[in-house]
Amino acid sequence: MQAVPEVARLQGVFGYALTIDVEEWYHNCLVPSYVQPQLRPDLPVELDRLLPKLLGLLAESGCRATFFVLGEVAERLPARVREIARAGHEVASHGFHHLRACERPAPEFVRDIRRSKALLEDLLGEPVRGFRAPEWSLRTLASPLLPLVAAAGFDYDSSLVPYSLSGRRSNPVFASRLRWGGCEAVAAAAVAGTAARVAGGSLAGGAVRPASSGLAGAVAAVAGLGDAAARLELLELPVFTFGGVLRVPAGSWTGRLVEPGRLVAAAERHLARGGLPVAVAHPWEISERPTPGPLTGLARFIHETGRAGYLPKFRHILGALPWSTLSEAAGLRAVARAGHAHLAAEPARVLEPPPSGGTRAALAVP
């Protein structure tokens, strides 16, 4: 399934969203032996120290953030994840393991994101509505994995950047609603359902159904989903960029190198253009200590470039704008759907794509 979804830019009154990718210093996809759990040597860890420090910085500045938490981190540090939520921040999923989504088979990818979502929801006792792939590795709107994020029950994704090295320049620059219909939606839900059965469950939450193949099997596999199988929707909330036509993402080593005032100004311009500015940070960026283990080559460059002296820059960024969670900044609200609790993303307005030969029209969302 390679169909590109229908894309409609969201229109509304947005805020500034700060996001934190909760991962250890060694969660670097350029070092396969570090991110593959079965290959990983015994490595020192920092998050148990860094997360309280980061929460303190956010409290001092009066900011809230969305924390995209790796499942393996939540499994090891459940109390820290609960502390994040108790402090008023949003917890979202970064997958279970820090592996590139674009390099994984679809059923394996779905098992990973469903496992992470279920773990976080069990820890917090509330729905987890957002997902970000490690290293922005969904890459493109045409990714066959993207509708699987919607089929797994997420309301929004923040995995695509309009930047050639980590994504595609054709990816959305502004917050957008993605829609898949017909066979694409059924196929996505069927793959998600197959992965759930392998993991010992089912999307509909009922009895495990025997596996089947073909279009009839796909339809049968998702029969319990009702209307959800007929049309999948997902909000795409991309990281904002700076550098004009270069579209450099506001995160990673590029975000650490730029002067904080320039990053703040870029966020303000994006908001003024009707955008939703989404910034990215990592706990290891504020450690103020040497990296506790070996990194070499490009992995070391990406990790270390701009890290020394970054904490004052980060404090400047926190103090300059009223940062909030992604859900708050996007204006999402909770509704009940299909007789069970489900969080649906409903921004104030959606700019719908024009009908054939027509003009664009902004439609109010009730």
User: Where along the chain do its domains lie?
Assistant: 6-364
Res 109: pLDDT:
97
Cα dihedral across residues 78, 81, 87, 92: positive or negative:
negative
Report the range of poorest mean pLDDT among 62-71, 86-95, 356-365. 356-365
**How many CA atoms are closer than 13 Å to the CA of 278, on its beta-carbon side?**
29
pTM, two decimal places = 0.84
- What is the average pLDDT value for the chain, to the nearest integer? 83
Res 286: pLDDT:
96
- Judge whether residue 336 has pLDDT over 80: no
Name the most confidently modeled range: 103-107, 161-165, 223-227, 330-334: 103-107
Query: Tokens for 184?
Result: 């694409």
Report the range of poorest mean pLDDT among 143-152, 192-201, 240-249. 192-201
Residue written as tokens 């994840």?
81
Res 200: pLDDT:
47
**Strand partners of residue 176:** 9, 236
Contact 86, 124 (CB under 8 A): no
| Nearest alpha-carbon partner for 162 in 265, 266, 249 | 249
Helices 214-221 & 183-198 angle (0-180, nearest 10): 70
Topology adopted by domain 6-364:
TIM Barrel (3.20.20)
Number of CB atoms found within 10 A of residue 321's CB: 19
Res 156: pLDDT:
98
Q: What is the dihedral of CA 156, 162, 164, 165, to 10 degrees?
A: -50
Q: What confidence tier does 193 reach under pLDDT thresholds 50, 70, 90?
A: low
Cα–Cα distance for residue pair 255/257, rounded to 1 Å:
6
Number of CB atoms found within 10 A of residue 301's CB: 12
Q: What is the dihedral of CA 184, 190, 195, 199, to 10 degrees?
A: 150
Residue bearing the bigger pLDDT, 96 or 2: 96
Q: What confidence tier does 194 reach under pLDDT thresholds 50, 70, 90?
A: low
Contact 314, 54 (CB under 8 A): no
Q: What mean pLDDT is predicted for residues 326-353?
A: 54
Beta-carbon contacts of residue 366 (< 8 Å; ≥ 6 apart): none
Single-letter residue type at 143: S
| Nearest alpha-carbon partner for 317 in 114, 20, 37 | 20
Q: What is the pLDDT of residues 238-274, one digit of tens each?
A: 999 998 888 888 888 999 999 999 999 999 999 999 9
- Judge whether residue 333 has pLDDT over 90: no
Q: What is the pLDDT of residues 290-300, one digit of tens each?
A: 999 999 999 99
Greatest alpha-carbon span in the chain: 61
| Nearest alpha-carbon partner for 72 in 38, 30, 103 | 38
Residue bearing the bigger pLDDT, 133 or 202: 133
Q: What confidence tier does 165 reach under pLDDT thresholds 50, 70, 90?
A: confident
Res 196: pLDDT:
55
- Judge whether residue 151 has pLDDT over 80: yes
Q: What is the end-to-end Cα distance of the chain in Å, rounded? A: 32
Distances (CA, A) of 342 to 90, 139, 155, 220, 228: 16, 27, 9, 23, 12
